[in-house]
Amino acid sequence: MAATRIGINGFGRMGRLALRAAWGWPDIAFVHVNEITGDPSTAAHLLTFDSVHGRWLHDARGADQALVIDGQDIGYTAAAQPGDVPWEPAGVDVVLECSGQFRTRETLDAYFVALTPSGVPTSSGATSAPRSAGSWSSLTSPTCAAGRGLCSSRSCSTCSPA
């Protein structure tokens, strides 16, 4: 079984903690990050040094349009709208919406117009979305992963990897 290829929109605290929590899992591969503030070097620094969880013991650094972790290049962009991010060319299957800016079906439509990932787990504000308890298995569940579905965690902070 191939790994589910993950993209992250919003690499603030929740986006970084999601990546930290699942890094190295054989069934998940992080392939793209979109963050409108900061460059890949800043993202690598913030990923490495967390004021609550401490230092992350993986080699993270910024490169030209990439975040490099343990020698693996992860594409990096700074697009303000999710529809402007090259999710499909990056081979993304599932996008983690971690910016907190896109919380309704209407604001999430750009994901479904511009790309073909299976699902977009979002903050709890997503309307008309099946809800999961925030587990990583929900990323590949039939509800979320079957055919451009939308699923939502119960809360972006309560049930997050934090």
User: Consecutive 10-residue runs of the chain (162 residues): their mean pLDDT?
Assistant: 90 95 95 96 97 96 97 96 88 86 74 58 50 45 48 48 48
Q: Are 19 and 30 in contact (CB under 8 A)?
A: yes
Are the C-beta atoms of 122 and 153 separated by less than 8 Å? yes
Q: Give φ, ψ of 130 to 5 degrees.
A: -60, 145
Domains of the chain, residue spans: 4-153
Q: What is the pLDDT, as a whole number, of residue 151? A: 58
Distance CA 150, CA 88 (A): 17
CB 114 within 8 A of CB 28: no
Catalytic residues, by residue number, are 156
pLDDT at residue number 109: 73
CATH architecture designation of domain 4-153: 3-Layer(aba) Sandwich (3.40)
CB 154 within 8 A of CB 124: yes
Task: Please report the pLDDT score of residue 5 as a whole number.
Answer: 93
Structure-block tokens of residue 121: 């787990």
pLDDT of res. 134: 45
Please provide residue 72's backbone torsions phi and psi, each rounded to the nearest 5 degrees.
-95, 125
pLDDT of residue 152: 55
At 106 the pLDDT is: 76
pLDDT value at residue 153: 52
Q: How high is the pLDDT of residue 52?
A: 93
Residue 114 has a pLDDT of 59
72 CB-near residues (< 8 Å, 6+ apart):
none
Give Cα separations from 138 to 31, 64, 75, 91 (angstroms): 19, 32, 24, 19
